[in-house]
Structure 1
Amino acid sequence: MKKLFLFSMLLTITLPINSGVRCSDFNMQEEAQRYYEPHHAYHLDRDRDGEACECLPGGSKYGSSRCKKY
């Protein structure tokens, strides 16, 4: 039982967690894109156009009214 508990704790600690990464964690769209592609972090691309965090500087929608923060 102890081995099972230790194994489950180790597995939980070592699993990569990328769902906690947000666009606000990046300064530029290019940085977000570099993270997005190998990690398949689809939550960074809500409109599913292949461009992660397009509202960040360097993104195609940067400065548009669509990118307004509330």
Structure 2
Amino acid sequence: MTGAEWAEVRAVLPVPGRLGDRGGQLEGYCHRHMVDAVRHLVAGGIMWRAMPSDFPAWDRAYAFFRRC
């Protein structure tokens, strides 16, 4: 994902709770890595559990996907 593409996508992602007024703990993964994982999943037509190991854990990526 290019920097210009990321700038467009970043604007519509939910703000982490710790940065808003809700408090919360730090997130384990960068949002850009999560978006890349979801894009890989959609482009490859693979199942969540078949996510390659160089991406975040499939359950974390799935939770991020559900939140957005």
TM bracket, shorter-chain basis: under 0.3
Normalising by structure 1, report the TM-score: 0.22
Which structure shows the bigger proportion of residues in helix conformation? 2
The structure with more radius of gyration: 1
Normalising by structure 2, report the TM-score: 0.22
